[in-house]
Structure 1
Amino acid sequence: MPIAVLRFPGTNNEKDILQALSAIPGVRAYLVTSHQGPHALKEATGIVIPGGFSYGDYLRAGAVAAAAEVMDGIRDAAAEGRPVLGICNGFQILAEAGLLPGVLLPNESARFVCRWVHLRVSSRSSMFTRGLEDAIIRLPIAHGEGNYHCDAEELRRLTRSERVVFRYCNRDGEVVDEANPNGSVHSIAGVINAQGNVMGMMPHPERASRKQLGSTDGMRILENFVEACLC
């Protein structure tokens, strides 16, 4: 099963996600660089946009990458129902491209945050979290612009339709301000599009894919992503 991992200038997590995906039986994860253009994504059954600092985060994180020609291939894939996963900078790119609602602002603390967090799985209907409904999982974050915001009406739509996939919480699963690492509205850490096939998340599942890394919770998300690519 061919799954494309898209690299922009400044992406720095492509090797981690390639390794994690390749550990799943039947997956052929391969690298696509942005200058190859939209046609390089045509054979992919699913696409991952990994983390990093695409184009040095100039203007805003993800803003320059969102305007790249290769994003036409991402839009086509999303419209066709193929799964698309944006991790950290990938989430920022998808939001800047209008493929996901909301924006990612600088962290409320104005500092880069790099640590492990607990997340409550908030959506019971997402194919990305099948079998994880209401679970408390543990993943790492590493970002300077992870402060998710949207207007009040958009937030109502997201919560009503269970499109908020992950929320920051404490180890007991309580969504409290103290557990929110960046100031995100509603403690949001990840969302999906209306069609349900495009997800963005600030935490890094590929960095929690083996016991040696401290958690395997991220691998469960990646396995669900791969399973969705089969549909």
Structure 2
Amino acid sequence: MTQRLLPTLLLLLMLPANSGLAADTPPRPFEAHYHLEVDGWPNADIQHHLTATASGWESEMSAKLPGISGHETGRFRVGQGALQSYYYASGYSLLGIQKSYRLDHEALAERPDRQSALFALSRRAIDRPCETACRVEYLDHRGRQESVDYRVLGRRSLTLPAGEFEALRVEVTEPDEDDSRLVFDFLPRLPGLLLSMTYYSDGKRKSQLELTRLETP
């Protein structure tokens, strides 16, 4: 689970932070557990926490398997119809090689980190979905600007190891990349929570993530 693999497969849905895009559904803390299957990699179990803090909210994801581990954390504030990222940290360990990255509030002044943007995108899709494809921007773990397009596909019933849910489906593509796409299912009552994720390339499914356990305080 390299630094690129974990965030790219899970967190490619990103949204500008200071554009009034955070909508109305309030944040609620949760602890989620996922199972991820990726072609050519060992299967992985992933943990995802959204936690209230004294200064806002913290979203954290982590994964670990033999010889490999990765994690990333984003902190943000929600208020006045907008979301503001102010801290990001991530790192990975691959066969003894370790890397770590950080972004501060100055770097995140105009665009969010990936964890904060996952929450913002899901909330916008839940409350104010675009009727056509929307271009969005974010910062990767090194602080480089990236962009993707997304569109809301509608709602569907979804049966997972964690139970049965009414899911909101969203498709994400990269500009000028016609042969790959991500399809996410969000839970409308819990912004930021992934129910499932499927990655397709060259018309074939390359990875599948599913929610296996959900806890809410």
Shared fold, TM over 0.5: no
Structure with the bigger RCO (C-alpha within 8 Å, sep 6+) is 2
Q: Structure 1 or 2: larger helix share?
A: 1
- Give the TM-score, by structure 1 length: 0.27
- Give the TM-score, by structure 2 length: 0.29
